Structure 1
């Protein structure tokens, strides 16, 4: 039932669900799966027949380049549904891997589609989830191509922190974030030396710090200003506290 509750909480962030919609989600059969660090959950080119929600740990979407290098596209925390769009696709154009140990729960597309046919509002909520993913990707394109390096990194920190607050993962202005500096650079299009210099600059602003797998926000308003962050593209129904 943990996975069912996770899906209900996630979809309620942005969509209205009736009591009957919630009851339908509670009938879905999710199967847990444990992942080790860097284990692929989905590989580029797969023809998926299941979708997953994250129960613990973190996962990341990435493109695998011909050279073997990775371009990380997004990071996903407990409560996220990182491959909802797989329901509507025949072949995956990206991969999803664990970042550190993680536990996910999967459900067959056939079962989801039957549930959607019974409760169309559930289908609209899942569709909206995929549209929000697309909005995040559009923002990432702008972030990596049009902002300065400090603004680029600050914006990503803002996005992850804001989403984490909505899901209840922030404590005392701290977010456990098991992303390595190499992965951070691969997400932001920065060499590792540039990542280190940019982190030093952000620490000097006294707005944020990131070290030893923990993101600490000291001044949210200042961090948003540095990152030019406006959470509207996340389309949450209400701003997390």
Structure 2
């Protein structure tokens, strides 16, 4: 696992320009580490956090917990992402964040981040841009779950996850480890488990992808993108995945 400063610098440089002085401030952040078990929450709805977590390894998910128990997964985050950066700007968290599979996060005190914003505004702009990209992902997820067919919905999610992971050098050729369960996939896409299995079978039969036991394999990227109507421009990455 790389150091926090290397992970942060690599992530923020995907969409922001940072000077040597900016990088020095980022490298000075104090932090603590937390190891997470699968499905363990590290942010709960209603929390008033005083630290911001950066994903160091694994995957985490942002979700809403509904009153009768089910979850609606809103977005997924991997190495370098700040899934609770919004906590810097709101008093109480209106969503929760949990691990999807084993994960590690680094927790940076809010007071240090705010001080960095004052000393080096470009650092603040870069972290703010992270929250704006999150908002863009949310908007796309709303469109995906409400306006696309079920195969297109699933194809789009897999395209987004693979594209973002590839941009951060987290894929192996055409494979991506994404340890989500099928029920969790259903809670993401608004589908019953039977529909999830049927839709997966349809995409497999078309030769576009496979997803088994937490391993996503891309068979035909152009075709999968076409099915999912995937246009990565909403991710606002300067350094596009190859």
Is 1:137 aligned to 2:138, yes or no?
yes
Cα distance in 1 for residues equivalent to 2:209 and 2:56: 27
Equivalence for 1:113: 114
Equivalence for 2:82: 81
Cα distance in 2 for residues equivalent to 1:166 and 1:82: 17
Q: Secondary structure at the match of 2:59?
A: strand
Cα distance in 2 for residues equivalent to 1:238 and 1:111: 28
Equivalence for 1:31: 32
Equivalence for 1:68: 69
Is the CA contact 1:73–1:187 (under 8 Å) kept in the aligned structure 2? Answer: yes
Equivalence for 1:3: 4
Name stretches of at least 5 consecutive residues in structure 1 with no aligned partner: none
Cα distance in 2 for residues equivalent to 1:197 and 1:223: 16
Counterpart mapping for 1:182-193 below 5 A:
182-193=183-194
Report the Cα offset of residue 238 of structure 1. Answer: 2.4
Cα distance in 2 for residues equivalent to 1:219 and 1:38: 31
Equivalence for 2:229: 228
Is the CA contact 1:4–1:30 (under 8 Å) kept in the aligned structure 2? Answer: no
Counterpart mapping for 1:146-225 below 5 A:
146-225=147-226
Deviation sequence 1:122-174 (CA, Å, 0-9, x none)? 11111111000000000000000000000000000000000000111111200
Cα distance in 2 for residues equivalent to 1:102 and 1:239: 25
Aligned length: 241
Equivalence for 1:126: 127
Equivalence for 2:93: 92
Report the Cα offset of residue 79 of structure 1. Answer: 2.1
Report the Cα offset of residue 38 of structure 1. Answer: 1.2
- Greater mean alpha carbon deviation, residues 79-88 or residues 110-119: 79-88
Deviation sequence 1:158-198 (CA, Å, 0-9, x none)? 00000000111111200001011011000000000000000
Cα distance in 2 for residues equivalent to 1:155 and 1:167: 19
Cα distance in 2 for residues equivalent to 1:138 and 1:39: 26
Q: Secondary structure at the match of 1:137?
A: helix
Cα distance in 1 for residues equivalent to 2:200 and 2:225: 15
Cα distance in 2 for residues equivalent to 1:26 and 1:38: 30
Q: Secondary structure at the match of 2:25?
A: helix
